[in-house]
């Protein structure tokens, strides 16, 4: 359900009918049933929130949202659009429950709505976000956040476009020490494995530079030559179709036009800004390298518009579609 004070609950309520009509999955919500009832009331939907104890009990329909109550009633006192330890704790408990059930095979995939990182930390859960929390719970060290846009009018690639990040939720001052040849190679491999599933044939991958103009032959930095290129070479020697490093301000044009199926970005905003400009409300966040399938909406809690009936549901629907595709692979 995500943070109860954010847009997650109303996205579920607003997109539920379309989600069920897709007929690709049997969805159930992890969160607090009463929060969902408030969201349904806000949007004036005729939907019953039915509390269940096990995902096997879920019988979703356009008129029924099954919900596993994963948290205490403390979350019911959190005002909309506010940062709260109670909301952070509730979100944490829902994530842990969903992750555990998916690891045990009780569910086939998990789709997460946005959480607030500050609220999570106020609750004593010191993680930068969903990605790191779920990876730790799964016992995984080699993982990556990927943003994915499925095929659409503004993309020429038949399998859409993926952007994988070498570094993620860290301060800019820390990224240089975290970008290693081994990390670049690992992220190229994760991008390849995902897009191979989506494209059904070997994908073409591009790698971004770190410095302006790809370092301009060392004038603006040597990381392209000393760190990124060796990682690309390792991937190429493994039989991967990969090129780069390319200046980040031009490579997305080639990827949009279908020359590349995936782009490996060096840091968070380098990948996020470009892909979200191509399709903010269709973008999906996927965690690669996990033993479970996890997709997410590609936006935050939007406290400024939360609980006003204005939340977009497009990313939610696309995240569900991609999760179902991966689960049925």
Q: Which residues contact 256 (CB under 8 A, 6 or more apart)?
A: 154, 155, 156, 161, 278
Q: How many angstroms separate the CA atoms of 35 and 252, rounded?
A: 40
Q: How many angstroms separate the CA atoms of 168 and 145, rounded?
A: 7
Please, which residues bridge with residue 52 across strands?
68
pLDDT at res. 154: 83
pLDDT at res. 13: 98
Beta pairing, strands 144-149 & 284-288: antiparallel
Pick 1-139+291-329's CATH classification: 3.10.180.10, 3.20.20.370, 3.40.190.290, 3.40.718.10.
Answer: 3.40.718.10
pLDDT at res. 40: 98
pLDDT at res. 61: 97
Q: Which residues contact 201 (CB under 8 A, 6 or more apart)?
A: none
Which residue carries 């569900």 as its tokens?
320
pLDDT at res. 151: 86
pLDDT at res. 168: 85
Q: How many angstroms separate the CA atoms of 166 and 189, rounded?
A: 11
Domain 141-289 - what CATH class?
A: alpha beta
pLDDT at res. 84: 97
The answer to whether the CB of 166 falls within 8 A of the CB of 209 is: no
Q: Give the N- to C-terminal CA distance of the chain in Å, as an integer.
A: 25
Equal fold, 1-139+291-329 vs 141-289: yes
Helix, strand or coil for residue 211? coil
Q: How many angstroms separate the CA atoms of 70 and 182, rounded?
A: 38
Q: How many angstroms separate the CA atoms of 12 and 40, rounded?
A: 9
pLDDT at res. 35: 98
Per-residue pLDDT of the chain in tens (329 residues, 90 and over written 9): 999 999 999 999 999 999 999 999 999 999 999 999 999 999 999 999 999 999 999 999 999 999 999 999 999 999 999 999 999 999 999 999 999 999 999 999 999 999 999 999 999 999 888 889 999 999 998 888 889 998 887 888 888 999 999 998 889 999 999 999 999 999 999 999 999 988 989 999 999 999 999 888 888 999 999 999 999 999 999 999 999 999 988 999 999 999 999 999 999 999 889 888 888 788 899 998 899 999 999 899 999 999 999 999 999 999 999 999 999 87
pLDDT at res. 215: 83
Please, which residues bridge with residue 162 across strands?
148, 262
Domain boundaries along the sequence of the chain: 1-139+291-329, 141-289
The answer to whether the CB of 200 falls within 8 A of the CB of 300 is: no
Say if residue 116 is exposed, middle or buried (CB neighbours under 10 Å; 0-12, 13-18, 19+). Answer: buried
The answer to whether the CB of 137 falls within 8 A of the CB of 238 is: no
Q: What distance lies between CA 53 and its chain's CA centroid?
A: 26
Tokens for 87, please give them. 């909301």
Handedness of CA 89, 90, 92, 97 (dihedral sign): positive
């Amino acid at each position: 359900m995500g943070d109860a004070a954010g847009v997650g609950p109303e996205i579920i309520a607003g997109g539920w009918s379309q989600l069920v009509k897709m007929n690709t999955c049997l969805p159930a919500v992890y969160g607090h049933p009463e929060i969902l009832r408030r969201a349904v009331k806000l949007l004036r939907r005729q939907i019953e929130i039915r509390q269940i104890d096990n995902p096997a009990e879920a019988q979703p329909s356009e008129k029924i949202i099954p919900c596993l109550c994963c948290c205490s009633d403390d979350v019911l006192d959190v005002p909309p659009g506010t940062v709260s330890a109670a909301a952070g704790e509730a979100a944490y408990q829902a994530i842990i429950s969903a992750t555990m059930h998916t690891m045990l095979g009780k569910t086939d995939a998990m789709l997460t709505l946005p959480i607030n990182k500050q609220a999570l930390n106020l609750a004593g859960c010191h993680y930068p976000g969903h990605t790191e929390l779920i990876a730790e719970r799964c016992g995984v060290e080699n993982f990556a956040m990927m943003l994915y846009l499925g095929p659409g009018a503004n993309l020429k690639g038949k399998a859409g476009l993926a952007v994988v990040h070498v570094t993620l939720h860290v301060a800019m001052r820390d990224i240089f020490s975290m970008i290693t040849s081994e990390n670049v190679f690992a992220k190229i491999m994760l991008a390849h494995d995902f897009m191979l599933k989506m494209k059904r044939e070997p994908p073409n991958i591009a790698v971004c530079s770190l410095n302006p103009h790809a370092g301009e032959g060392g004038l603006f930095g040597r990381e392209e030559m000393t760190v990124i290129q060796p990682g690309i070479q390792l991937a190429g020697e493994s039989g991967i179709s990969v090129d780069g490093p390319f200046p980040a301000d031009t490579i997305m044009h080639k990827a949009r036009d279908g020359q590349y199926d995936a782009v490996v970005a060096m840091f968070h905003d380098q990948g996020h800004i470009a892909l979200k400009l191509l399709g903010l409300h269709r973008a999906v966040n996927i965690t690669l390298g996990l033993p479970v399938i996890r997709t997410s909406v590609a936006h935050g809690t939007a406290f400024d518009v939360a609980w006003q009936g204005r939340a977009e549901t497009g990313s939610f629907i696309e995240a569900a579609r991609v999760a179902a595709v991966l689960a049925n692979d």
